[in-house]
Chains A and B, each alone.
Chain A
């Protein structure tokens, strides 16, 4: 027993030694609560692979952000809230001096972290998931549902359908098929608002977790004969829905999914059944994006790639990880411009950077990420910054964007966020910041 214990002790000592090293200044530390195992492990591998690859890419190509090298530490959450908290607390102690934005990529974890991260003054980013009313930065100074939210996405999908139908959806029937959880329920409020505005008929069909059996739902859809199915699935529910649509003969090109239903991982296992299926996304796939191709050359060329399976480079989720990292690094750059170039930025400074992002098309192009993600301009009252998505279609081999960036109906959706944020502030006794005074 003693014999076996020894390597473990040394290992602890070694890992502790490594930890204390990473705290040396002139390094920007990224706490990364990631997941690579469990039901959604494959998604996490691509996303965090892309994220970490980009950090390394900036380190190798540009010697970091103005000379500040980026370091990171991962912690496995298994997409489980309790483990996510443990990871956050563990990584937090190392993020006191410098902290990159935290991307938990889980609705449950990000909900639990909203309060904690505000207390600890660490920036929590929820790109395309999480607490959507955090768009209102006056109540949520440290939470950033960047790029776009479920509600804006739903609104953008409706806009796309409306344009497809010559500008009107009046009298049409749309089925909303969703994962019966916080994730799936978020979009309902937006769809209901859109339904009463555009006078279409909304039918809600929930699917119980995990959603590996949808016979009844699809027979119901067949009976309803909707014009479109808007689809909010996650994990195995996605393939099952595509297969079940095929089974009842519902055309896949009348199915529009959310961005968590539109990656290669979601459609490839469904085989032929996925052909023609459409999904929203806020980042495009492929290696035609200069920075993606360059990462493959620079990082993987040097043998420092994070992905085990390099064929994942250029997939939707990999590119989504890269785009998340692009925005995160840009926020640090922005913060350095204000608080001192060449210095590591702490949580408050990075949050300032995230709140003052101004990524125009030209700026995105200069970063080599042309067309990878939409323009982003954040402010105190708008932590979302964009609200734009593209609709893409699966042609059997790859995702092909079929539209330009479509923006959701901000005038309709953003007041919903503000109302919800106000209620939250009241429940929690938070005094909102006055955004008109923020510069």
Chain B
């Protein structure tokens, strides 16, 4: 009922090929954007901006990058955080060393730098596949972080290797409050998410999916493997690089190379697996799940323990949190191995007929 598309006739090719062919989706998306751009800034508190919404959007963007590579082009990568680090350090250096460069140009350059590094580490994918490739991308993870620690020029000779992001000034306006940073991040992420949605349905995206499903078959039907795979690495790294720049500039303020650890790469991988491999929506759902679940547990568990009078110490509560986090990941995978995005799809199909199923 709610999602019935009966009566929505497509009379032109353009209408048939648009990004969101169902009217309800279009309305929903517009509503969502309206809420995000107008409603949230009015309602949310500073805690929500700095601690939840900004990291949520940034990690969604990074997950988007990884999903392009892993979900659409089928190349498993465990080096996402390192590409983010490249973006963060590149943006810092562009701001520092190029006189008068606008910050958004710095972000784009940071993305391009990350893309170049991504292509370099994508080269082995032409020969290596599957988990072998995944472990090989770990080389990128460790090597890049090591380089950032070892070449003092990259951190402007700071004795500890920590960089402190410059102010974000666009057209004379200083983005220094949490709300303004949130809006900036939201705008960038929205544009890039729409671009990604567009990209994956283009011929490039279809070539990626063909390579993902079977690369030998793809090459037989005339898809050139090398440019296709490398392009996936480049685009993916571009997204991660921009996410890294935002992570440094809009979220933490100061970053050290070790902050972009393997743990972070894994966290982003969790997001796309839980959210849904090969789904743009899934990146957002997964990021929300992975970021919010620990916070939710943090809020509820001590209360629950108190409610039942359980004699838990703080350490025990923290351990239980990790334990439940792990258990929930397994539980969700068993219930829906294709991720939260798939659940949404099922819900949509149900809603098409609801409340009058056959």
**Which residues from A are CB-within-8-Å of B162?**
111, 182
| A71-122 contacts to B (CB < 8 Å) | 74-76, 78, 80-83, 85-86, 88-90, 92-93, 107-108, 111-112, 114-116
Q: Distance in Å from the Cβ of A195 to the closest Cβ of chain B?
A: 15
With A36-B315, A81-B252, A108-B259 as contacts: A182 and B161 at CB distance below 8 Å: yes
B344 within 8 A of A: no
- Answer yes or no: B347 CB below 8 A from chain A CBs: no
Q: Mark B319-353, 1 if CB is under 8 A from A, else 0.
A: 10110000000000000000000000000000000
| Residues 378-409 of A contacting B (Cβ, < 8 Å) | none
Is B303 touching A15 in the complex (CB atoms < 8 A)?
A: yes
Distance A182 CA – B259 CA, assembled complex (angstroms): 10
Q: Is the CB of A115 within 8 A of B295?
A: no
In the bound assembly, the distance between CA atoms of A88 and B45 in angstroms comes to 14
B159 lies within 8 A of A185 (CB): yes
Contact A111 B159 (CB under 8 A): no
Query: What band does the interface of chain A fall in when counting residues whose beta carbon is under 8 Å from B?
Result: 35 or more
Cα A92 to Cα B50 with chains together (Å): 11
Out of B55, B306, B319, which one reaches A14, CB within 8 Å?
A: B306
Known contacts A114-B254, A308-B313; A428 and B50 CB within 8 A of each other = no
Q: Is A11 an interface residue, CB under 8 A from the partner? A: yes
A196, B321: Cα distance in complex, Å: 51
Whether the Cβ atoms of B314 and A34 lie closer than 8 Å is: yes
Complex-state Cα separation, A93 to B52, whole angstroms: 14
Most buried by B among A74, A86, A93, A183: A86
A248 contacts partner chain B, Cβ-Cβ < 8 Å: no
Chain A residues near B52 (CB, 8 Å)?
86
Q: Which of B46, B254, B315 contacts A89 (CB 8 A)?
A: B46
Contact A85 B254, beta carbon cutoff 8 Å: no
Q: Report the minimum CB–CB distance from A343 to chain B (whole Å).
A: 25
The listed residue (B47, B314, B319) touching A90 by CB distance below 8 A is B47
Q: Which residues of B contact A306 (CB under 8 A)?
A: 313-314
B: contact size bracket: 35 or more
Q: Is the CB of A115 within 8 A of B47?
A: no
* B258 interface neighbour in A36, A108, A115, A424, Cβ under 8 Å: A108
CB pair A36–B263 under 8 Å, yes or no, is no
Query: Is B180 part of the binding interface, using a Cβ–Cβ cutoff of 8 Å?
Result: no
A41-B315, A181-B149, A308-B315 given; A15·B322 CB < 8 A: no
A412-439, CB < 8 A from B: 420, 424, 427-429
Q: Are B315 and A116 in contact (CB under 8 A)?
A: no
**In whole angstroms, what is the CA distance A234 to B24 when docked?**
55
A37 in contact with B318 (CB, 8 Å): yes
**Least CB separation from B253: chain A residue:** A115
Contact A86 B319 (CB under 8 A): no
CB of A92 within 8 A of CB of B47, answer: yes
Given the complex, which residues of A lie within 8 Å of B164, measured CB to CB? Answer: 115, 424, 427-428
In the complex the two chains form, is B304's CB within 8 Å of A186's CB?
A: no
Q: Is the CB of A37 within 8 A of B299?
A: no
20 pairs, CB–CB < 8 Å, chain A vs chain B: A10-B307, A14-B307, A15-B300, A34-B314, A37-B315, A37-B321, A74-B314, A82-B251, A86-B295, A89-B47, A108-B259, A111-B254, A112-B252, A181-B149, A183-B160, A306-B313, A308-B316, A420-B159, A427-B164, A428-B164
Nearest first, the 3 closest Cβ-Cβ pairs linking A and B are A11-B303, A89-B51, A182-B160
6 extra A-B contacts, CB within 8 A, seeds A81-B252, A107-B256: A14-B306, A15-B303, A37-B315, A111-B254, A112-B253, A181-B149
